Every structure is written in structure tokens, then in C-alpha cells.
């Protein structure tokens, strides 16, 4: 691909802001930039690499001259405008859930299935021109689990997530900060986003609840998306919880293996895998923490230990921390766009 014209849809929301930052930090080649935002923000100025760009409102012709569009404006926006952009010849990297489970839309984590984007390509041009970014929890779990699965064969993963306010956007982060101020001032807590006390509390993830099976939508995304990314059946049990942390999700992951492994084997795989940083200092009790993961491209992995409930070597427990706005969303999207540069 030539040096592309890039668009960001949802440029003023939390993930959109980080998409712009990731483009810059990764030195992504940009011939020109188009930025799209809410109609109320039309004309607002966004600075990128020293140049000011005015926010635009999307219309039928917005993507005619765009090569790659990074979408982070919500599912309704993607449902309406991704097909329009794709039909114009623009390749859409969509951060919503709208296209993730569509069979012929690749669901991409570059460290795992970069060649899946070839399904989108045709001999006479680009196919449907839509690539899906997985859910943040799915990405953060999949990056460390995949190399272990590839090497040893993971039969089952049981995951508990500790998800920060950042997963619900800027307004949720601001509400958590405001609740801290309210608490300190001794006044009633602001509860506009979650409808409950968030500070000093944790609760079942706030995504829609499936009354028929007891899962919430966040959990179900990991269950459905992981096999599509891994390219085959993969058993996941998961519980997703919202915790009063501003940024970066954490997870406790239990893995059951087909083959017996040693902790040395596990460490070797994790240390060699892209996108990971092993942080596992038992002596000083230094392991992955959300404060350390915030703003970092790598997913932190630690607390590696044998699962004592099974025969030694056939199960391990690990703990991870990863920035949901970065590898869980914006960074992964830009890394997908980097794959397109090679085509």
C-alpha cells in the first residue's frame, strides 16, 4: 500500500485519542489525516504531528479519498458507516462489536493471526474492506495465552477479570475521579454513569446481562471471540468484574494443559513472545499492576505458578495487567493497519 490517507472516526473519545497517539508513537506513515467527531464537535481542532485538523461530520462522500479508517465511534455508527466506507474502497479497522462475529470478517490480533487479513483480499482488489478489532478483554487474555497454547496445547482457560473505568470511556473515568472528590468532601456521590457507588466498591461488569445463562455480554464476547482468533475450538470460562481503577485491566488466568510443562518452559515461552513483558519478582512482591501497565504497549505477565489442584505440570496460574485503551483497543487497531501497509 502507498503512504495512506488515514481517517479516525471518534477522534475525541478515549480510544480515538489513543489511536492518534499510537499512530504518532509507531511512526505510522500518514499522507493526510481526516478526523471525524460528533456533530456538536464539528470544527474543533485536533493537532497531529504539528498540523491542525478540523473535526468533520461524516457523510456519504467522507471516505472517497481515504485508504484506512480507524473506527471508534460506537456500534451504531459502525453499523451505518463502515459499509459506506468499505464500498468507497477504504479499509475499515472497526473497534466496535458490530462485525466481530460476522464469519467473513477477520477478527485480528497481529501477534496471533496476522494472515487472517488475507481473507479480506481478492485478486482484483480488496474484499469487504472491514477488519474487526476484538474486545479488550479478549485481546489482553489472548496475547499471553496464545503462545502457551501453541507450544503446549491449552485444554481450558478460566479467567477472572478486574476491569478499570477506562473500559467504559472517559465519562466513567471522570465519574470515578468525581466520586473520590465527593467522598472526601462528604457529599452525595455522583452516580450518572454506573448508577451506584464505584469508589471503594466492585461489581459485576455493567454490560447487558444474559438472563437465560447468567453471563454478561463482556464475558460472552471472550467466549465467542477467542475461538475465532485462535482458529479452532477453545474452551474459556470467565467472570468479568468492574473495579475502581482508572486505567488498565487485570486478569487472573488459570490454564489446563494437554502436555506436562515446567515453570521454566512457561517462562521461556512468555519471555520470547511478542507484546509481553514478564514482571515476576517473588522476593519483592513485584508483579503486574494496573499503575505500571497504564500507558504501556506491552501486557505485563507475572505470578506464574503451578496449579495445585491438578497434577503438577498440567496446570498453571498467571496474572496479567494491560492497558485497555492501548493493546486492548487503539494499539491493536493501529497494528492491524500496519499489516495493511505490507499488502
- Count how many domains the chain has: 2
Q: Indicate whether 220 and 304 sit together in one domain.
A: yes
Domain CATH for 40: 3.40.50.720
Range of the domain at 109: 5-133+329-341
Residues 58-77, buried b or exposed e (16+ Cβ, 10 A)? beeebbeebbbbbbbbbeeb
Q: Indicate whether 122 and 144 sit together in one domain.
A: no
Q: In this predicted structure, what is the pLDDT of residue 124?
A: 44
Q: In this predicted structure, what is the pLDDT of residue 127?
A: 55
Q: In this predicted structure, what is the pLDDT of residue 151?
A: 96
Q: Indicate whether 169 and 284 sit together in one domain.
A: yes
Q: Indicate whether 84 and 224 sit together in one domain.
A: no
The catalytic residue among 136, 205, 240, 250 is 136
Q: Indicate whether 186 and 310 sit together in one domain.
A: yes
Query: What are the pLDDT tens digits along the chain (343 aa)?
Result: 789 999 999 999 999 999 999 999 999 999 999 999 999 999 999 999 999 999 999 999 999 999 999 999 999 999 999 999 999 999 999 999 999 999 989 999 999 999 999 877 654 445 589 999 999 999 999 999 999 999 999 999 999 999 999 999 889 999 999 999 999 999 999 999 999 999 999 999 999 999 899 999 999 999 999 999 999 999 999 999 999 999 999 999 999 999 999 999 999 999 999 999 999 999 999 999 999 999 999 999 999 999 999 999 999 999 999 999 999 999 999 999 999 998 7
Q: Indicate whether 81 and 228 sit together in one domain.
A: no
Q: In this predicted structure, what is the pLDDT of residue 82?
A: 96
Known catalytic membership, residue 55: no
Q: Indicate whether 123 and 189 sit together in one domain.
A: no
The catalytic residue among 205, 249, 250, 287 is 249
Q: Indicate whether 110 and 17 sit together in one domain.
A: yes
Q: In this predicted structure, what is the pLDDT of residue 162?
A: 98
Domain CATH for 166: 3.30.360.10
Known catalytic membership, residue 136: yes
Q: Indicate whether 165 and 90 sit together in one domain.
A: no
Q: In this predicted structure, what is the pLDDT of residue 267?
A: 98
Q: Indicate whether 41 and 156 sit together in one domain.
A: no
167/173 Cα distance (integer angstroms): 9
Q: Indicate whether 113 and 213 sit together in one domain.
A: no
Q: Indicate whether 181 and 305 sit together in one domain.
A: yes
Amino acid at each position: 500500500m502507498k503512504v495512506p490517507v488515514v481517517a479516525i472516526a471518534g477522534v475525541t473519545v478515549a480510544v480515538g485519542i489513543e489511536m492518534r497517539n499510537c499512530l504518532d508513537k509507531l511512526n505510522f506513515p500518514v499522507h493526510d489525516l481526516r478526523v471525524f467527531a460528533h456533530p456538536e464537535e464539528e470544527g474543533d481542532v485536533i493537532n497531529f504531528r504539528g498540523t491542525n485538523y478540523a473535526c468533520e461530520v461524516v457523510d456519504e462522500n467522507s471516505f472517497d479519498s481515504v485508504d484506512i479508517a480507524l473506527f471508534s465511534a460506537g456500534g451504531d455508527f459502525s453499523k451505518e458507516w463502515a459499509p459506506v466506507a468499505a464500498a468507497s474502497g477504504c479499509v475499515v479497522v472497526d473497534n466496535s462489536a458490530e462485525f466481530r462475529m460476522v464469519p467473513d470478517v477477520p477478527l485480528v490480533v497481529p501477534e496471533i493471526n496476522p494472515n487472517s487479513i488475507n481473507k479480506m483480499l481478492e485478486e482484483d482488489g480488496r474484499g469487504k474492506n472491514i477488519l474487526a478489532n476484538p474486545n479488550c478483554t479478549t485481546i489482553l487474555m489472548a496475547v499471553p495465552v496464545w503462545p502457551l497454547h501453541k507450544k503446549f496445547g491449552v485444554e481450558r482457560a478460566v479467567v477472572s477479570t478486574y476491569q478499570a473505568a477506562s473500559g467504559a470511556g472517559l465519562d466513567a473515568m471522570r465519574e470515578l475521579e468525581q466520586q473520590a472528590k465527593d467522598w472526601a468532601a462528604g457529599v452525595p456521590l455522583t452516580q450518572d454513569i454506573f448508577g451506584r457507588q464505584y469508589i471503594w466498591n466492585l461489581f459485576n461488569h455493567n454490560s447487558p446481562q444474559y438472563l437465560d445463562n447468567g453471563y454478561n455480554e463482556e464475558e460472552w464476547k471472550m467466549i465467542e471471540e477467542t475461538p475465532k482468533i485462535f482458529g479452532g475450538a477453545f474452551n474459556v470460562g470467565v467472570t468479568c468484574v468492574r473495579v475502581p481503577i482508572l486505567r488498565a485491566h487485570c486478569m487472573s488466568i488459570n490454564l489446563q494443559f494437554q502436555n506436562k510443562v515446567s515453570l521454566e518452559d512457561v517462562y521461556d515461552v512468555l519471555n520470547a513472545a511478542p507484546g509481553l513483558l514478564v514482571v515476576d519478582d517473588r522476593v519483592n512482591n513485584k508483579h503486574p499492576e494496573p499503575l505500571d501497565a497504564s500507558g504501556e504497549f506491552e501486557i505485563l505477565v507475572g505470578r506464574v505458578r503451578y496449579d495445585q489442584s491438578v497434577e503438577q505440570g498440567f496446570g498453571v496460574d498467571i496474572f496479567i495487567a494491560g492497558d485497555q485503551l492501548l493493546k486492548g483497543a487503539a494499539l491493536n487497531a493501529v497494528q492491524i493497519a500496519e499489516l495493511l501497509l505490507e499488502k
